[in-house]
């Protein structure tokens, strides 16, 4: 059988749009916004891939998914082969397809993107992942028991990936999770409408069950067990506890009623299912005028969740407003592009080049608004982005009865309690080798946000993967730390 | 799932529960707390540890039924299970030899003050304890407290038992009589009681430790909902506390934050009671 002649026209065509819930409808519910490709659409989009001899897309993927190969199989309608290729590198494709910032990773390097739109790699990955969750043709395979025991702390993207890779190699893996359910940021942080919990649970259960990984929930390392206690009972320990500590601004009024961290707000909504209160016991309070400070993915998630809670409560057009307040301009917004576009479509009000200088309250300690100052962009700073500079005398007030701080997070120091020898940077992140994940403490590896500070799901998975490879080498080959 | 081994009613609204949770007991110390979630629908509630037994792996909790979650928990019985039991959380009390200490337990706060008084006694301190409640029916563990105290003063607001009046009255007398001889004070109870204890001891410069029980979700520093304003800035009750210097706490802010979810708490309770009534009447019809 000969391959079809190369069709020059197809590279000119645009990528296939993914069906989404219409914005007027979706702001009334918490159901998933993006609905995914149909089989027909996936095959058609896969046909756009040029099958480059030296594919650049793969170099943009932190876990090295064999992108052209899985797309080729998909284009030929061989779903099972596509799944096999995908799962040889990525244990959680249904999750990554939904939350990876593809536009700055694989898709940014797609050759098609130079002249036309890049192949929708993320949407195809999601399709393959969802197909596998339904068909379950590729349970993960496990090698013979090595007799080695590994403790993985944290069941978020880094920990899960590390645990699964090590269990595949035949090591006995136990995951310790402080919350009552596994998934880390995937369950407490990312909302249902962007990443349905059913997908997370089913992806985790599938991986964990097929490999016999034990998950001990309600185990707070640093308290229930110390790190040193874990080390005495396991051959190695991987720390993937993320960056769970919220940052608050050092401005007046931060302790007023109605001011909360995005972590608290999202944990109430996602982890505790507060959007189903009072059927679920945990309340979540959003007023009529909400101000979210920050413009990362977490800020978008919080703002869009607020909108849905308001609409669910009082229907449309009832004077409800959700603002996103960001000190730089639209071009610098750190959120995934799709989230920004969805937020704009849904009616979130963006106050760019604006920074809060104080939170206003009434005599009952309830928040009434934000005092802000206008900013302008100056010279680029260390991060390469233009530094926002306040414009003197431009202060103004924004009315708000709820203020949500989405200003980033740092690693939770609880895990280090009573343990020595683990060096950390000034910002609280753990010092670890980028390639191996080795920390300064013997037999302890770390990866994900605990090392990098708040970053992406896929970069945490990449770190978990690299650490798993090194732990495996350590346990089975040389047992050498130095 | 964690099994309830034993349940006692200490008063109409005060319940004692012994729960089997060996993973929490192994490192548990006086002053720490746990997070309990009843079932899939439940909220995560912080409860201070009243007692723990390393041999059986059991933890004793004492709580007052005030809202939906505590009423629901109180309706469970020995043999039932709860879905989440995480801990021990927070820092342990700083147990040391101080000399003479006063341990004050108000209402349900008598429960968590007990293991602290016990540990202080074991560390060689002279322990003077004051326990108080609205009336006699809300008092419990008098004998247990007596067994770890050199002196025990019991008060009730209505005078139905012991001394009539608030716990701060005997406290003030003790401070008047021997202010310099009191080396440390622990107070656990309702926010308003801990506030008035702190106000009472401040003029005497008597080192006063309070144990705060604020609204929280994870209990590990993640949500920040429990933050309390101290003289030096905001602090998290779950990881920096739960014990703080009572003279540094901004009490008005704290008490106001505790009230923030009152309307929702009422709604949750009504919703639950309605559901219970509905289920009861369906059961009735089924028979």
Residue-wise pLDDT tens digits, A104-114 = 899 999 999 98
| Closest chain A residue to B223, measured at CA | A264
Percentage above 90 pLDDT, chain B: 83
Q: How many CA atoms lie within 13 A of A102 on its CB side?
A: 24
* pLDDT score for A194: 92
> From the candidates A261, A267, A279, A281, which should be mutated to test the interface with B, based on the most B CB atoms within 10 A?
A281
| CA–CA distance, A230 with A176 (Å, rounded to integer) | 10
Mean pLDDT of B217-241: 92
Output the pLDDT for position B287: 59
For A248, which of B26, B224, B267 is closest by C-beta distance? B224
> What pLDDT score does A423 carry?
94
Q: For the segment A410-468, what is each residue's pLDDT rounded down to a tens digit?
A: 999 999 888 889 999 998 999 999 999 999 999 999 999 999 998 888 899 999 999 99
CB contact under 8 A, B69 and A188: no
- Residue B265 touches partner A, C-beta closer than 8 Å: yes
Q: Which residues of B touch A248 (CB under 8 A)?
A: 224, 227, 234
Chain A residue numbers with beta carbons less than 8 Å from the beta carbon of B44 are 180, 272, 282
Among A325, A329, A280, which Cα is nearest to A302's?
Answer: A325
Give the residue extent of every domain in chain A: 8-135, 149-244+410-478, 248-260+287-407
Instruction: Name the pLDDT band for A8 (thresholds 50, 70, 90).
Output: low
Cβ contact A283–B44 (<8 Å): no
Residue B258 at interface with chain A, using a CB cutoff of 8 Å? no
**Model confidence at A10: pLDDT above 60:** no
Q: 3-state class of B262 per DSSP?
A: helix
Residue B285's pLDDT is 72
Q: Do residues B20 and B3 touch, judged by C-beta distance below 8 A?
A: yes
CATH number of A149-244+410-478: 3.50.50.60
What domains lie within chain B, and their CATH numbers? 2-89 (2.40.30.10), 100-211 (3.40.50.80)
For A50, the 3-state DSSP assignment is coil
- B46 at interface of A, judged by CB pairs closer than 8 A: no
First to last CA, chain A: 54
Q: Can you tell me the mean pLDDT for A257-272?
A: 95
User: Are A255 and B257 in contact (CB < 8 Å)?
Assistant: yes
Residues of chain A with C-beta less than 8 angstroms from the C-beta of B219: 220
Kindly list the residues from chain B whose CB atom is less than 8 angstroms away from the CB atom of residue A225. 26-27
Test B264 with A258 for CB contact under 8 angstroms. Answer: no
The verdict on a CB contact (< 8 Å) between A281 and B88 is no
B267 touches chain A (CB under 8 A): yes
What pLDDT, on the 0 to 100 scale, is given for residue B96? 96
Q: Which residues of B touch A245 (CB under 8 A)?
A: 221-222
Among B27, B227, B253, select the one facing A224 at the smallest CB separation. Answer: B27
Q: Mean pLDDT across the stretch A250-278?
A: 93
- pLDDT, tens digit, 9 for 90 and up, residues A366-394: 999 999 999 999 988 887 888 899 999 99
Is residue B280 within 8 A of residue B274, CB to CB? The reply is: no
> Looking at this predicted complex, what is its ipTM?
0.92
Contacts with A257 from chain B: Cβ below 8 Å: 256-257, 260
Average pLDDT over residues B106-110: 94
Closest residue in chain B to residue A276, using alpha carbons only: B41
pTM for this entry: 0.91
Rounded to the nearest angstrom, the minimum Cα separation between B150 and chain A is: 32
Torsion sign, CA atoms B253, B255, B258, B260:
negative
Q: pLDDT-based confidence at A316, cuts 50/70/90? A: low
- What is the arithmetic mean of pLDDT over A289-318? 87
The pLDDT assigned to A417 comes to 86
Nearest-by-Cβ selection for B221 from A216, A218, A414: A414
Task: Identify the architecture of domain A248-260+287-407 in CATH.
Answer: 3-Layer(bba) Sandwich (3.50)
Residue A5: which pLDDT band, with cuts at 50, 70 and 90?
A: very low
Provide the residue count of chain A.
482
> Out of A82-91, B54-63, B187-196, which region has the weakest mean confidence (pLDDT)?
A82-91
Fold of A8-135: Fumarate Reductase Iron-sulfur Protein; Chain B, domain 2 (1.10.1060)
**Chain A: residue nearest B24 by CA?**
A224
Query: In this complex, do A180 and B44 lie within 8 Å of one another by their Cβ atoms?
Result: yes
The per-residue pLDDT for A364 is 84
As a whole-number percent, the residues of chain A with pLDDT over 90 amount to: 75
CB pairs under 8 A between A and B: 127
**Helices of type H across A22-105:** 23-26, 39-46, 67-75, 79-87, 93-99
Lowest mean pLDDT among A228-237, A313-322, B28-37: A313-322
- Residues on chain B touching A260 (C-beta within 8 angstroms): 223-225
Whether B127 contacts B119, CB under 8 Å: no
Residues of A in Cβ contact (< 8 Å) with B234 = 248, 254-255
Q: For B223, which of A218, A261, A414 is closest by C-beta distance?
A: A261
* C-alpha span between A16 and A75 (Å, rounded): 14
Nearest-Cα residue of chain B relative to residue A247: B224
Q: Do A283 and B224 touch (CB under 8 A)?
A: no
Residues of B (226-245) whose Cβ lies below 8 Å from A: 227-229, 234, 239
pLDDT over 90 (residue A480): no
- For chain A, give the mean pLDDT: 91
- What is the arithmetic mean of pLDDT over A81-90? 92
Contacts of A282 in chain B (CB under 8 A): 43-44, 217
Residue A338 to residue A342: CA distance in whole angstroms = 6
Looking at the complex, report in whole angstroms how far the Cα of residue B267 sits from the nearest Cα belonging to chain A. 7
Radius of gyration of chain B, Cα coordinates, nearest whole angstrom: 19
Contact A282 B217 (CB under 8 A): yes
CB contact at 8 A, A445 and A236: yes
Answer yes or no: same fold for A8-135 and A149-244+410-478. Answer: no
């Amino acid at each position: 059988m000969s391959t079809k002649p190369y069709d020059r026209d197809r590279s000119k065509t645009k990528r296939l749009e993914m069906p989404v819930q219409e914005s007027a409808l979706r702001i009334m519910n918490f159901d998933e916004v993006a609905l995914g490709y149909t089989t027909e659409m996936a095959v058609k989009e896969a046909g756009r891939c040029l099958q480059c001899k030296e594919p650049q897309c793969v170099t943009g993927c932190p876990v090295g998914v064999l992108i052209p190969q899985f797309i080729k199989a998909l284009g030929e309608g061989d779903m099972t082969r596509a799944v096999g290729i995908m799962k040889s590198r990525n244990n959680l494709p249904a999750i990554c397809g939904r939350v990876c910032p593809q536009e700055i990773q694989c898709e940014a390097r797609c050759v098609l993107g130079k002249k036309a739109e890049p192949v929708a790699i993320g949407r195809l990955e999601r399709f393959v992942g969802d197909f596998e969750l339904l068909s379950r043709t590729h349970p993960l395979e496990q090698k013979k028991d090595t007799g080695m025991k590994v403790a993985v702390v944290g069941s978020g993207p880094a920990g899960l990936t590390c645990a699964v890779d090590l269990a595949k190699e035949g090591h006995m893996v136990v995951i310790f999770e402080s919350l009552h359910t596994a998934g880390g940021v995937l369950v407490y942080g990312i909302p249902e409408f962007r990443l349905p919990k059913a997908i997370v649970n089913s992806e985790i259960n599938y991986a964990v069950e097929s490999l016999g990984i034990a998950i001990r929930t309600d185990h707070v390392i640093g308290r229930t067990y110390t790190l040193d206690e874990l080390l005495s009972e396991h051959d190695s320990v991987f720390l993937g506890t993320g960056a769970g500590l919220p940052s608050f601004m050092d401005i007046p009024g931060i302790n007023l009623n109605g001011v909360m961290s995005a972590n608290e707000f999202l944990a109430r909504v996602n982890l505790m299912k507060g959007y189903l209160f009072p059927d679920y016991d945990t309340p979540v309070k959003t007023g009529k005028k909400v101000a979210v400070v920050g413009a990362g993915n977490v800020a978008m998630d919080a703002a869009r969740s607020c909108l849905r809670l308001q609409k669910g409560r009082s229907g449309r057009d009832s004077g409800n407003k959700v603002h996103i307040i960001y000190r730089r301009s639209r071009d610098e917004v750190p959120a995934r592009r799709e989230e920004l576009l969805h937020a704009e479509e849904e009616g979130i009000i963006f106050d760019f080049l604006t920074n809060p200088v104080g939170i206003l309250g009434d005599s009952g300690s309830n928040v009434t608004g934000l005092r802000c100052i206008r900013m302008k962009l100056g010279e680029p700073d260390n991060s390469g982005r233009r530094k926002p500079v306040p414009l003197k005398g431009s202060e103004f007030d924004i009315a708000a009865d709820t203020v949500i701080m989405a200003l980033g997070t740092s690693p939770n120091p609880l895990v280090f309690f009573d343990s020595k020898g683990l060096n950390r940077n000034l910002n609280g992140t753990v010092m670890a080798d980028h390639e191996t994940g080795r920390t300064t403490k013997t037999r302890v590896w770390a990866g994900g946000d605990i090392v990098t500070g708040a970053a992406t799901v896929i970069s945490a998975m990449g770190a978990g993967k690299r650490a798993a490879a090194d732990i495996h080498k350590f346990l089975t080959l040389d047992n050498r730390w130095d | 799932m964690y099994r309830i081994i034993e349940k006692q009613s200490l008063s109409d609204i005060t319940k004692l529960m012994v729960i089997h949770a060996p993973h929490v007991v192994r490192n548990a110390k006086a002053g720490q707390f746990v997070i309990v979630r009843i079932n899939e629908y439940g909220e995560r509630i912080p409860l201070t540890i009243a007692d723990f037994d390393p041999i059986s792996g059991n933890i004793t909790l004492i709580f007052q039924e005030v809202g939906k979650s505590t009423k629901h928990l109180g309706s469970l019985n020995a043999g039932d299970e709860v879905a989440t039991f995480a801990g021990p959380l927070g820092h342990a009390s700083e147990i040391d030899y101080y000399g003479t200490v006063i341990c004050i337990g108000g209402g349900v706060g008598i429960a968590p003050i007990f293991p602290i008084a016990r540990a202080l006694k074991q560390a060689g301190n002279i322990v003077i304890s004051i326990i108080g409640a609205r009336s006699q029916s809300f008092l419990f563990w008098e004998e247990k407290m007596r067994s770890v105290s050199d002196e025990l003063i019991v008060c009730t607001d209505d005078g139905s038992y012991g001394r009539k009046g608030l716990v701060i009255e005997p406290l003030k007398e003790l401070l008047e009589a021997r202010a310099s001889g009191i080396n440390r004070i622990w107070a656990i109870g309702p926010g308003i009681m801990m506030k008035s204890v702190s106000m009472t001891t401040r003029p005497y410069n008597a080192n006063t430790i309070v144990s705060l029980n604020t609204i929280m979700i994870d209990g590990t520093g993640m949500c920040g909902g429990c933050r309390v304003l101290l003289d030096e800035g905001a602090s998290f009750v779950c990881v920096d506390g739960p014990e703080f210097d009572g003279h540094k706490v901004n009490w008005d802010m704290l008490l106001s934050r505790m009230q923030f979810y009152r309307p929702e708490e009422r709604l949750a309770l009504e919703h639950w009671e309605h559901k219970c009534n509905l289920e009861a009447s369906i059961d009735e019809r089924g028979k």
